[in-house]
Structure 1
Amino acid sequence: MDKNKIKTSCLINNYNYAEFLSEAVDSALNQTVKFDEIIIVDDASTDNSVEVITKFTQVANVKSVLKEKNQGQLSSFNEGFLAATGDIIFFLDADDIYEPQYLETALNFYKRRSECDFVFCAYKKFGALEEIFQADAIDLDLGYSVIRTLYSGEWIGSITSTLSIRKEIIRKFLPIPNVEDWRVRADDCLVWGASLVGAKKFYISKPLVMYRIHKSNQYHNKIFLDIDNNYEYKRFWKRNSLFNYILQKNNLSLPLLLAFTSLNELKTIPCPKYQDFISYLKIIFLFEHNFFWKIKGIVFLFSYFLKTLMTGKLKVL
């Protein structure tokens, strides 16, 4: 057995997506490099999803978790994580599709960058709308984002089906108990959770996932948000509860000397953007309570900005 082999798990979360599920599972099965295991978590579907899943569990590396009670997407992430044995866990919504080269490309990326904990990629929208979504035209080392997430709630990631995370990172925040808070938009827990526990994040610019746009797609169509105009307000309070849980679970506390910890975190991004400097400037200005260190932090930040500008490391949009 190759001790250097990276074991991979694909977690497919499903609720009443029987009409799409076969395509999703097939896309995970038909990778140019095979997943070691594919785990389909069904959140007590009322359509014929279980029938579809049963057909696939005849394949050696496919197994299922059939929940008896519908509890939402976070609950499915929790159950899938507890069943997974891979070193890296890949997430896939049951209505989306992987490109055949997705796993091979991502694995090669992890192997080249051993410090990488969290990867997301560009994606193609298809179905009711067709277009390519890229956060950037080139691959990016996004560094660490504990401070940005903790103080600004920055969301450094992408839709569920583009995410992969090392299990050693995920176990620091999953399972999360307050599943009712995250029946939808549970990818918030993955993106924010990974940042808070110190994941080093990277972005792959090649669109390797197909994101299906259809009438039941709540994230794209904002059906959920239109029904509840207070959603973002509620999400803010749910975010605070989530952050407190993760901090307590990992015995983490608010950093001292925010002016310096902010600058040190910024320096983990090899080629920062102008917006990165603005983000940390706002954090130092708003949350560094000591006036002396506030001014000193702003001066140091500006000095670092000039240095990156002069050396050509500042990434201009």
Structure 2
Amino acid sequence: MNTTKIKTSCLINNYNYAEFLGKAVDSALNQTVKFDEIIIIDDASTDNSAEIIANLAKTSGVKYLLKEKNQGQLSSLNEGFLAAHGDIIFFLDADDIYEPEYLETALNFYARRRECDFVFCAYRKFGAVEGVFQDYAVDLDLGYSVIKTLCKGEWIGSMTSTLSMRREILEKILPIPYTEDWRIRADDCLVWGASLVGARKFYISQPLVKYRIHQNNKFHNQQSLVLDRSYEYKRWWKRNALFNYILQRNSLRLPYLLAFTSLNEIKTIPRPTTKDFVLYLKIIFVFEKNFYWKVKGIFSLVSYFVKTLLKGKLVKG
């Protein structure tokens, strides 16, 4: 399949990962289909990252941005995107590694599915923890997720290094001004933002990224904070500010007649899960203000669930 017409950019964000950076860059360089550009964004590292980056630029031709002030991951993504020229943007944390066939597989995926705006894939953990993480056992078209993200804050994606999306979607999201709020976990901005602006999301079940687990790993070590109520409360407030910014920037609002729009949205998912139906049922029940449409919407959703079940298109989850 011809994938050469699509221009690609790889944004590698780095902060004090000098010991890992070379392998991350090599993994981006040594793809079976080459990136059109690779840009390293260094967030004012205090180790010898700048020296390593300069050497990499001389020997491999990668581009780079050396920030003068440490401002966190979102700031790096903002600046990297503004410097990128690709039609599809890929993201890589400097401590992670792409499998050699990652770009080729993803591009074939985009080429076969013209409606695809956003792709994330399974990944393989290595380092302090080993194992493969898959959201689903098969490739899936996850449809649109505007309503369930707006109403329930659904997070449909994965960690930064597994993400890619079309430029026209990312232009509606970045740059985001709340850099202090998202010094870490800036993948939240990409995942939530893409849903809010109407990206159609797809999942690749093949583990095409190696996710390094180590003591300084920000995303992995933040998982213990899920049970911390104060952390989740702060994240909820940051999420609200983020949502409001993206909605205002794109002149978006919660649709009228949620029962109708919720049913239309779930129908964009060719193989929905039981969780999807339960979620949309809650949305209609809680957020639909018109009693007639609330009842009609619940009845229509249950009817559609039965039809999906009988056709064997329901996915476990």
Please indicate the TM-score interval, normalised by the length of the shorter structure: over 0.9
Deviations 1:20-49 (A, max 9, x none): 100100000000110000000000000000
CA drift of 1:223 comes to 7.8
CA drift of 1:312 comes to 1.7
Matches for 1:152-231 after TM superposition, within 5 Å: 152-222=152-222, 225=225, 230-231=230-231
| Equivalent position of 2:83 in the other structure | 83
1:146 is aligned to 2:162: no
Q: Distance in 1 between matches of 2:255 and 2:31?
A: 43
CA drift of 1:225 comes to 3.0
Contact 2:3 2:107 in 1 (8 A): no
Q: Give 4+ residue runs of structure 1 displaced > 4 Å after superposition.
A: 226-229
5+ unaligned residues in a row in structure 2: which ranges? none
In 2 relative to 1, CA 200–214 (structure 1 residues): closer, same or farther, beyond 3 Å?
same
| Equivalent position of 1:306 in the other structure | 306
CA drift of 1:316 comes to 3.3
Q: Distance in 1 between matches of 2:115 and 2:54?
A: 38
Tell me the secondary structure at the aligned position of residue 120 of structure 1: strand
Q: Distance in 2 between matches of 1:33 and 1:312?
A: 37
Tell me the secondary structure at the aligned position of residue 181 of structure 1: coil
| Equivalent position of 2:126 in the other structure | 126
Tell me the secondary structure at the aligned position of residue 22 of structure 2: helix
In 2 relative to 1, CA 276–3 (structure 1 residues): closer, same or farther, beyond 3 Å?
closer
Contact 2:81 2:174 in 1 (8 A): yes
| Equivalent position of 1:12 in the other structure | 12
Contact 1:157 1:191 in 2 (8 A): yes
CA drift of 1:111 comes to 0.5
Tell me the secondary structure at the aligned position of residue 58 of structure 1: helix
Tell me the secondary structure at the aligned position of residue 232 of structure 1: helix
Q: Distance in 2 between matches of 1:226 and 1:259?
A: 31
| Equivalent position of 1:282 in the other structure | 282
Q: Distance in 2 between matches of 1:3 and 1:290?
A: 48
Output the TM-score relative to the length of structure 1.
0.97
Tell me the secondary structure at the aligned position of residue 33 of structure 2: coil
Tell me the secondary structure at the aligned position of residue 180 of structure 1: coil
| Equivalent position of 2:242 in the other structure | 242
Tell me the secondary structure at the aligned position of residue 90 of structure 1: strand
CA drift of 1:289 comes to 1.3
In 2 relative to 1, CA 309–226 (structure 1 residues): closer, same or farther, beyond 3 Å?
closer
Aligned pair count reads 316
| Equivalent position of 1:51 in the other structure | 51
Deviations 1:219-246 (A, max 9, x none): 2123883997511100001000000000
Deviations 1:92-146 (A, max 9, x none): 0000000000001001111001110000000000000110001111000000000
What code does the residue aligned with 1:53 have?
I
Contact 1:36 1:61 in 2 (8 A): no
5+ unaligned residues in a row in structure 1: which ranges? none
Contact 1:24 1:95 in 2 (8 A): yes
Q: Distance in 1 between matches of 2:137 and 2:306?
A: 25
| Equivalent position of 2:114 in the other structure | 114
| Equivalent position of 1:265 in the other structure | 265
In 2 relative to 1, CA 168–226 (structure 1 residues): closer, same or farther, beyond 3 Å?
closer
Output the TM-score relative to the length of structure 2.
0.97
Deviates more, 1:216-225 or 1:168-177: 216-225
Contact 2:8 2:87 in 1 (8 A): yes
In 2 relative to 1, CA 143–43 (structure 1 residues): closer, same or farther, beyond 3 Å?
same
In 2 relative to 1, CA 19–223 (structure 1 residues): closer, same or farther, beyond 3 Å?
farther
